[in-house]
Amino acid sequence: TGYVTLDSGYKNTGATKSAITFLDGEEGILRYRGYPIEQLAEKSSFLEVAYLLIYGALPTQSEFDSFRHQITQHTLIHEDIRKILDGFPSSAHPMGILSSLVCSLTAFYPKSIAPEISKEELNLNIVRLMAKISTIAAWSYKNSVGHPLIYPRNDLDYCANFLYMMFSFPTEKYEINPVVVSALNKLLILHADHEQNCSTSTVRLVGSANASLYGSVSAGINALWGPLHGGANQEVVEMLEAIQADGGNTQKWVDKAKDKNDSFRLMGFGHRVYKNFDPRAKIIKKAADEVLNALGINDPLLKIAGELEQAALTDPYFVERKLYPNVDFYSGIIYRALGIPTEMFTVLFAMGRLPGWIAQWKEMRENKEPIGRPRQIYTGELQRDYQEISAR
């Protein structure tokens, strides 16, 4: 009924009020709960930022200790979930495994589906999800390479434990490299929330039907997998590798991206909201240099990325359309330096984005928002009479 405004892709439609993340695309400002992303990336840890996003304030020492302790206590996953994992082929993309196993948590914790869950039960779901996602993520990788699964170690902090489950073997002693742990913390912080992006809107929309937190987040993971969204970080590195194999002619690839008869886009470039620069890309570019230096790695893809960026930034096509490198442009270079395989890049993005999805889902429920249900403008046949199949 009434008047419907069409806004494809919701370019100018606000779907909610939110007190979580402030983003100014013209000025390149990003703040979580009021704190500038630059300060958080420099000084905080991923778990502290997760607490901030989900509960609205930086934790006191005892609040933080309790949050961290609870998460540590829930890193094990049910052995029957392991059996589900065993059923996946080793060729399965880890994002498919991640979304499936996160969704399977609804079956193992059925109370999470009740529309009215207590505050305690909700907190338990939050803690479980934060804890188990890192085990599921690491195991999805182990599955893809056919290596034995490594169980979590509760004496390690969040990022170190994830790296341990990813890279250690039962036969060898695993040395944790603090440079790698700190880089991972920074990357996860930078991805932790980004207001009403595609996957977050998905989480809110699914959750608005009173669906469970696990089911809503699983839907968000699938949205994030798309190459126009989080899947871009994998695509960036694959693009840089293709440019390298093609002789390193970056101008040729910039021209290809400009060609309207070619569907190719420069991956890691452009953003719906940022029109001058993406503050996350600035931090990541600097971090990429630092991490590669600290680890003594000389990655030729970093040079190609720099040349490609320069070629695009000085090209009128990209200038006129205000297309700048986004968060995904340099993150893959760091992931590579940390030894993370390309297929795992988007999984890392999902781990980082999880506290944002949880915070947004929780806020929506607390604000008692109505079920999400966009309208449409119908363009089909007005009315027709049914004809028997023999008469068509």
Q: What positions carry a catalytic annotation?
A: 271, 328
Q: Which amino acid is at 4?
A: V
Residue 19 engages ligand CMC in binding (rule: CB under 6 A): no
Q: Which of 180, 192, 219 is nearest to 203 (CA)?
A: 219
Q: Which of 150, 131, 153 is nearest to 140 (CA)?
A: 150
Residue 48 engages ligand CMC in binding (rule: CB under 6 A): no
Considering only the stretches 204-212, 289-297, 323-331, 367-375, report the one whose residues sit in contact with ligand CMC under the rule CB under 6 A: 323-331
Residue 229 engages ligand CMC in binding (rule: CB under 6 A): yes
Q: Which of 200, 85, 183, 79 is nearest to 138 (CA)?
A: 85
Among the listed residues 19, 76, 209, 228, the single contact to ligand CMC using CB under 6 A = 228
Chain-centre distance for alpha carbon 377: 32
Among the listed residues 321, 367, 374, 375, the single contact to ligand CMC using CB under 6 A = 321
Residue 328 engages ligand CMC in binding (rule: CB under 6 A): yes
Residue 333 engages ligand CMC in binding (rule: CB under 6 A): no
Residue 327 engages ligand CMC in binding (rule: CB under 6 A): yes
Question: CA 286, CA 81: separation in Å to the nearest integer?
Answer: 39
Chain-centre distance for alpha carbon 289: 22
Residue 280 engages ligand CMC in binding (rule: CB under 6 A): no
Residue 265 engages ligand CMC in binding (rule: CB under 6 A): yes
Residue 193 engages ligand CMC in binding (rule: CB under 6 A): no
Give the residue at shortest CB distance from ligand CMC.
270
Number of residues forming the site for ligand CMC (CB under 6 A): 20
Distance in Å, CB of 171 to ligand CMC, minimum: 37
DSSP string, 90-112: TTS-HHHHHHHHHHHHHHHSGGG
Residue 200 or 212 having the CB closest to ligand CMC: 200
What is the helix, strand, coil percentage profile of the chain, to 5? 60, 5, 40
Distance in Å, CB of 63 to ligand CMC, minimum: 31
Question: CA 218, CA 372: separation in Å to the nearest integer?
Answer: 18
Cβ atoms of 280 and 266 within 8 Å: the answer is: no
Distance in Å, CB of 265 to ligand CMC, minimum: 4
Residue 234 engages ligand CMC in binding (rule: CB under 6 A): no
DSSP string, 194-249: -SS-HHHHHHHHHHTTT--HHHHHHHHHHHHHSTTTTTHHHHHHHHHHHHHHTTS-
Among the listed residues 197, 216, 218, 360, the single contact to ligand CMC using CB under 6 A = 197
Residue 271 engages ligand CMC in binding (rule: CB under 6 A): yes
Question: CA 310, CA 319: separation in Å to the nearest integer?
Answer: 11
C-alpha distances in Å from residue 70, one per residue of 192, 300, 356: 20, 42, 19
Among the listed residues 257, 288, 304, 344, the single contact to ligand CMC using CB under 6 A = 257
Residue 268 engages ligand CMC in binding (rule: CB under 6 A): yes
Residue 163 or 254 having the CB closest to ligand CMC: 254
Considering only the stretches 170-178, 207-215, 223-231, 293-301, report the one whose residues sit in contact with ligand CMC under the rule CB under 6 A: 223-231
By DSSP bridging, strand 29-32 and strand 35-36 are: antiparallel
Residue 326 engages ligand CMC in binding (rule: CB under 6 A): yes
Residue 137 or 232 having the CB closest to ligand CMC: 232
End-to-end CA distance of the chain: 34
Using CB under 6 A as the binding rule, the residues of this chain from 352 to 371 that contact ligand CMC are none
Residue 152 or 270 having the CB closest to ligand CMC: 270
Would you call 169 helix, strand, or coil by DSSP?
coil
Distance in Å, CB of 33 to ligand CMC, minimum: 21
Residue 48 or 235 having the CB closest to ligand CMC: 235
Q: Which of 130, 84, 76, 89 is nearest to 107 (CA)?
A: 84
Residue numbers at the binding site for ligand CMC (CB under 6 A): 9, 197, 228-230, 232, 257, 265-272, 321, 323, 326-328
